[in-house]
Every structure is written in structure tokens, then in C-alpha cells.
Copies of this chain bind each other. A is one copy, B any other.
Amino acid sequence: MDLATIIGLVAGLTTIVVVLVMDGGSPAELFAHPSSILLIIGGSLSATIITSPLKVVLKLPQFIMQAFTTNKFDPKATIELLTNLADKARREGLLALEEDSKKIKDKFLQKGIMMIVDGVEPEQVTAILETTVEQMRARHKQGIGFFAAAGGFAPTFGIIGTVMGLISVLKQLDNPSALGESIAAAFLATLWGLLLSNMIYLPVSGKLKVKSEDEARNRYMQLEGIISIQAGENPRVIRDKLNAFLAPGDIKAAGEPAKAGVGKKAPAGNAQKAKA
């Protein structure tokens, strides 16, 4: 469960209910005019569906689920794993990673390690993994865009609803006693358009975007590690490289060796220095 989504949603709805009660009303008033709600939801979704490919519309439940669940990435464990693989590859050769690759659960990481075991050339590995990440982002962007578009359409349909309401009010000015009530009902459409857009559509779009960026960052970190292992780089340097993706507070103490085996790699580091 993504706690921020839940907390924000509960806090937001509570705020609105509390404010309504403080002002001497009741939440039921929001639902007093169902045609407004129908117009906002129907209108904003219809317009967005025209804008979208059918494939995206069918995946909507999936996108909503994503906004409510947390990404499963553990960058520190990934760095540990990649440094160990780098260490092993340097000692026993890339082919020695075949067994390990089968145990990796992350499909993307597994695919990458299997390709370097198979001897696919570095440019190809980079091209394949980069295309995978970029196409993933392109697919995520469709979901993000769906909710952003719906969030843009909803307030407009709110105004459409209010204008429609005011037009019908203006035609019946002969009954002044019901005038206030009718205008109030017309304004309900604006209220729903703004609420739906600002409490649901736009925040969900924002959350999906944040998650997509988070996943892309993790994927690029894995990609960097895979390519570095293939190039036979020093495991200590690889660890440094991958740690650069983390916030300073999340990095393990610099003095602490990645693994006992890495200590023995220091001469290799010197060899590399000589080469540089």
C-alpha cells in the first residue's frame, strides 16, 4: 500500500466533511444534485477516452492500482547484488554468472545478466535495455496523461454544468423563491469538477509520474551496473558508481568493504591506475 496516497485521500475527504459540518451543512448536500455528478464524471471520462488509445482505457484499473501500491525496488540490495556479481565475474569470468542469473527475480536485471553471459556485445546490451526502459516510460506516460487530461477536462465540465444550470435558471425567473436553491444547484457542478480534478485525477496523475520516474531511475542504475560488470570494471568503482544514484544518507559507510573479496581487488585497482 502506498501510504502517502491513502493518507492524502483520507485527510482530504475528512477536511471537506469537517468544513461542511463546521459551516452548518452536511456531506449529503454534495450529492443533492446527481445530474451534476453524472455530467462531470461522464463528460471528463468521455473526452479523455476520445483522446486515448483503447488499450490505455482498458488498463485503467491497473493504473489506479499502481497509484495505491508501493514500488518494490530496494536499491541498496540491488547494489549489493551487482557488486557481488561484479566481484565473481572478475574472479571467474562472465560465464560464471549463468547460475546466479537464474536466481534473480527482477526480470529486467535477469535479462541483462543473461545477455552478458550469452556474450551479446555491449552496445547491443545497452541498446536493448535502454529501449526497454524508454518504452516502459512511454507506456507509463499514457496512464499519467490519461489522468492529467481527465483532470484538465473535469473543471471545464464543471463550468459547462454550471452554465447549463444558470441558463435553465434564467429561463424561469418567474419563481424567485426557488431562485437561490437553483443557482446553488448550478454551482454544485463547478464544485464537483474542481474536487474531482484536484482530489482524484491530478493527484493520481502526479503519483503515477513520481512512480514512473522512480522505476526509471532504478532501471538506469541496474543498466549502469550490468554494463560495468560486462566491461570488467573494479567492483569497488562499480559500487561507487551505483551509490551515486542514492541520497548521501542511504549510502553505506565508505570505509566498509563491499565484501571480503573486494579487499583482494586493490591490486587490480592499481593495475588500472597504471593503465590510466
Contact = CB atoms under 8 A, between A and B. Distances in A.
A69 interface: no
Contacts of A276: 119-122
Pick the most buried of A19, A38, A204: most chain B CB atoms within 10 A of its CB: A19
B52 A206 contact: yes
Nearest to A245: B135
A4 to B, nearest CB: 4
A89 interface: no
A19 B38 CA distance: 7
A40 to B, nearest CB: 9
A198 B43 contact: yes
Contacts of A132: 244
A230 to B, nearest CB: 8
Main secondary structure of the interface of A (DSSP, over half): helix
Contact-residue size bin, chain A (C-beta under 8 Å from the other chain): 35 or more
Contacts of A153: 198
B168 A49 contact: no
Given A135-B245, A173-B180, A51 B12 contact: no
Given A4-B57, A25-B168, A173-B180, A12 B187 contact: no
Contact of A4 (B25, B39, B53): B53
A8 interface: yes
Given A4-B54, A54-B2, A138-B217, A46 B199 contact: yes
Enumerate the 3 nearest inter-chain pairs by beta-carbon distance, A residue then B residue, closest first. Answer: A119-B273, A12-B46, A51-B206
29 contacts: A4-B52, A4-B54, A8-B48, A9-B46, A9-B50, A11-B42, A12-B43, A12-B47, A18-B35, A19-B42, A19-B161, A22-B34, A22-B38, A24-B168, A25-B168, A43-B199, A46-B199, A50-B199, A52-B207, A52-B210, A118-B269, A119-B269, A120-B273, A120-B276, A135-B246, A138-B213, A160-B191, A168-B184, A173-B180
